Amino acid sequence: MNLKQLCFDVIEITREVGEFLKSSVDQLSDDMIEAKGSMDFVTVVDKKSEVLIIDRLTELLPEAGFVAEEGTSTKRGDHYNWIIDPLDGTTNFIHGVFPFTISIALMHDEELILGIVHDPIHNECFYAWKDGGAYVNDKPIHVSSRNKLNQCLVATGFPYTDFSLIDEYMASLREYMTLTHGVRRLGSAAMDLAYVACGRYDAFYEYHLKPWDVAAGTVLIREAGGTVCDFNGGDDFLNNENYVATNGFIREEFMEIILKHF
């Protein structure tokens, strides 16, 4: 399989879907929004985007299955599976706030081998494939080289449906706020991870994340020279719903606070 060519083919899909998302921002009405749970929303646009992505990816790799946020396909592949978030940042999208992104990753057996995060509003497409490096709009990217937490800008995602760890989270947030240059929350985990990969952020953490939130960003960060793990420092982040990404240089210092509070 030519991963580089496949990556560029998928980029074209994300650009097509991105244009659809941009054209839909001002057309969204209340009757097009559903609540999947408390403060967890899906729109007609999410679903249409996912169907379009799945149709196009099936043409590219017919044997592959899908792990898709909106569940429009339940097909599973024997070896290859796409992990898709057709609109990461739905709450932003509903309110006309940016960013929102398209996130697509490819897994071979248990290994993530390709990842794309596309920001249609700012026309930035972040992409990477196994052993191929990481890029934004054809420009190579790398994680930052900052090696002290007090030099760093950190990103996170606020809890919005699962508040079971809110006390632990707020305690950790307090430390990061006081020990770093600041903490940011964009509203799209996929965008946060892309920003870690290109060095705009130095680290990111959040709990209650799903595979489609982090799969593509994981490929980006690893290929850009960074590290990812779960809150225990292990590799089970796709299953246990907590996630940490760093530039690698501050991993130990950053993880001390995670391990202290969670």
- Residue whose C-alpha is closest to residue 240's, from 216, 206, 217: 206
- Distance, CA of 35 to CA of 18 (rounded, Å): 23
pLDDT by residue for the chain (262 residues), tens only, comes to: 899 999 999 999 999 999 999 888 776 555 555 655 544 445 678 888 899 999 999 999 999 999 988 777 778 989 999 999 999 998 898 888 899 999 999 999 999 999 999 999 999 999 999 999 999 999 999 999 999 999 999 999 999 889 999 999 999 999 999 999 999 999 999 999 999 999 999 999 999 999 999 999 999 999 999 999 999 999 999 999 999 999 999 999 999 999 999 9
Q: Which two tokens stand for residue 225?
A: 């020279």
What is the number of structural domains in the chain? 2
Between helix 44-60 and helix 3-24 the angle, nearest 10°, is 160
- The answer for residues whose C-beta is within 8 angstroms of residue 47's C-beta and 6 or more apart is 70, 72, 86
- Residue whose C-alpha is closest to residue 221's, from 195, 239, 200: 195
Same-domain check for residues 84 and 188 = no
Same-domain check for residues 78 and 165 = no
The CATH number of the domain holding residue 210 is 3.40.190.80
- Distance, CA of 217 to CA of 20 (rounded, Å): 22
Phi and psi at residue 209, in whole multiples of 5°? -105, 145
Amino acid type, 91: T
Same-domain check for residues 181 and 102 = no
Domain enclosing residue 235, as ranges:
149-261
The CATH number of the domain holding residue 104 is 3.30.540.10
Whole-number pLDDT of residue 110 = 95
- Distance, CA of 221 to CA of 128 (rounded, Å): 9
Whole-number pLDDT of residue 71 = 77
- Of 140, 174, 190, which residue is a domain's last? 140
Same-domain check for residues 132 and 21 = yes
State whether the Cα torsion 220-225-230-235 is positive or negative.
positive
